[in-house]
Amino acid sequence: MRIRFHSAIRKKAAYNLGSPDMSKLQIEERRVDDVTVVVLTGEMLLDDGDLAFRRHIATLLDDSRVKILVDLDGVTYIDSSGVGMMVAQLKMVRQRGGDMRLMRLNSRGQRMFTLLKLRSTFEAFDDEALAVRSFIARPSA
């Protein structure tokens, strides 16, 4: 299954098993208080973006950063392995006592998450400030 997202793309850092310049998914991060905002740009595909995402989340968990907000505004394409990796990483984060929430999931992405019955699995937000505040009200799932 492949789902295409449309939005503006910004590029910064890239992660890939091979050459970092070859990855179709760029990952940036920043901190807002104790919440790590992970900004994804590009495509999350089998053996490329999904693995980069897994490694990035593992690094955050190794640093005890368990409040993670994933900004999907720049994601143009995601396949079933990308979705599966997001679910797997959500489970890992929750096992560490944290939570991973989604932000700026476009209408097509919202339909996909509804079809896959993942809307109740992930909390999703349109507004970053509201998403960050949600970690204060509900630090973990």
Mean pLDDT of 14-36: 76
| Domain count of the fold of the chain | 1
- Whether 46 is covered by a domain: the verdict is yes
Checking if the pLDDT of 10 tops 70, the result is: no
Instruction: Out of 1-15, 29-43, 91-105, 108-122, pick the least confident.
Output: 1-15
Residue 7: what pLDDT? 39
User: In the predicted model, what is the mean pLDDT of residues 98-119?
Assistant: 87
Average pLDDT in the 52-61 region?
A: 96
Residue 40 domain boundaries: 2-12+29-70+82-137
Given this model, what pLDDT does residue 47 score?
86
In a domain, 19, yes or no: no
pLDDT at res. 21? 54
Shortest CA distance to 47 belongs to which of 79, 88, 71? 79
Helix axes 49-62, 80-95, angle to 10 degrees: 10
Please report whether residue 75 resides in a domain: no
d(Cα 122, Cα 138) in Å, to the nearest integer? Answer: 13
What's the mean pLDDT in 19-23? 60
Residue 22 lies inside a defined structural domain of this protein: no
CATH of the domain at 114: 3.30.750.24
pTM: 0.82
- Domain assignment present for residue 44? The answer is yes
User: Is 77 domain-assigned?
Assistant: no
